[in-house]
Amino acid sequence: MNKLELTNQANPEYTLKVEHLKVVSTQGAELVRDVSLAIKPGEIVGLVGESGSGKSITTMAIVGILPDGISIAKGKILFQGQDITRISADERCGINGNKLGIIYQDASQALNPLMRIGKQIDEVLKIHTDLSLSERQDRVLGTMRAVNLPDVKNLAKRYPHELSGGQRQRVLIAMAIINNPQLLIADEPTTALDVTVTAQILDLIKIINESKQISVLYISHDFSTVNKLCDRVFVLYAGIPVEIGSVKQVIENPQHPYTELLLESIPTKEKRGQKLLRMKGRTQDPRGPALNCQFADRCPKAFGRCRQELPPMYQVTPGHTAACFLLNNKGE
């Protein structure tokens, strides 16, 4: 792996800080109800949950690409100290692809099938820099080498369909990091990749994080990849965080029943030959405000209070919290 020769930049205390984010549809559905998270410079934070948990909508709100009919109703998104929830389109253009890099989960959809790979990577530089053509070409090839793409001069002339799935994903990573962003958002970047390529992509993200001190928000439904990559994790359910802590705290000592069930469903060597746990039911489509524990109907440990009140976050140990009445000595 070639060392990424890109300069570090000064950062505030938090690269990203989301405060009480609420995202709604025009029909009144609360897709994200109350999400708060913070990422320090150089930190990798995981956002974990099933489909429908709100993690993708949270990501789109951060990036500023919410679909029509969906909008931020409440909260702040502070990027390097600046609230970016109400910035202009020009200001957003100066952030996305420049200070904020995005790795999408489906490279076949994210890449233009009619444009050569090198030109697609170069487009990011053309938009955000004043580099000359030769300078851009040098940086494109250098970044392609940095993400471990082979024979980069020839590869740059190819079209996306001529590359393997892992190579296309590396192209997306090259596009995301070429302008030395302060924050990298990886939206399930290993979806549809085999185990070997997944491990390589995770290693690459870690190398980029460590060599450039880029903050990373890693979106996933898979605790096994989060365990390999992240420093801290936010477990999201029905648009609300239900457990927060370091990866070690959450995986070794899960306190919310939802987290426990997610972890029990992970295939391991110890479970070889056994039938994996399957969580009953599914996340309900959000409607109005959450007035009780949204996981209660699927929870094997739920009791009366869970269906009547929304649990607050209780501290388990310093830095580790969970929203479950089982942690309240008074709750019965």
Q: Is the pLDDT of residue 99 over 90?
A: yes
What pLDDT is stored for residue 9 in this prediction? Answer: 42
Return the percentage of the chain with pLDDT > 70, whole number.
89
**Residue 75 DSSP label:** E
4: its two tokens: 């990424």
Residue 219 phi, psi (nearest 5): -100, 130
pLDDT of residue 191: 83
Residue 3's H or E segment, with its range, is none
> For the ranges 4-8, 109-113, 228-232, 242-246, which has the lowest average pLDDT?
4-8
pLDDT value at residue 104: 87
pLDDT tens for 190-227 read: 887 888 999 999 999 999 999 989 999 999 988 999 99
Cβ contact 47:217 at 8 Å: yes
pLDDT of residue 108: 82
Distance CA 148, CA 174 (A): 10
Q: What is the pLDDT of residue 288?
A: 75
Tell me how far apart the alpha carbons of residues 191 and 187 are, in angstroms, rounded to a whole number: 9
Read off the pLDDT band of 8 (50, 70, 90).
very low
Each residue of 115-149: pLDDT tens digit?
999 999 999 999 999 999 999 999 999 999 999 99
Residues 6+ apart with CB under 8 A from 10: none
Label each residue of 135-195 as H, E or C: HHHHHHHHHHHHCCCCCHHHHCCCCHHHCCHHHHHHHHHHHHHCCCCCEEEEECCCCCCCH
Calculate the average pLDDT of the chain: 89
Give the whole-angstrom CA distance, residue 119 versus residue 161: 15
Residue 75's region, left for phi above 0, alpha for psi from -120 to 50, else beta, is left
pLDDT category at 6 given cuts 50, 70, 90 is very low
**From 76-80, 104-108, 160-164, 241-245, the region with the lowest mean pLDDT:** 104-108
CA dist 114 and 271 (Å) reads 45
**Residue type for position 294:** Q
Work out the pLDDT band at 5, boundaries 50, 70, 90.
very low
Q: What's the confidence (pLDDT) of residue 140?
A: 97
Kindly give the residue spans of alpha helices, DSSP state H, lying in 22-128: 55-63, 89-95, 107-110, 117-128
pLDDT, position 7: 37
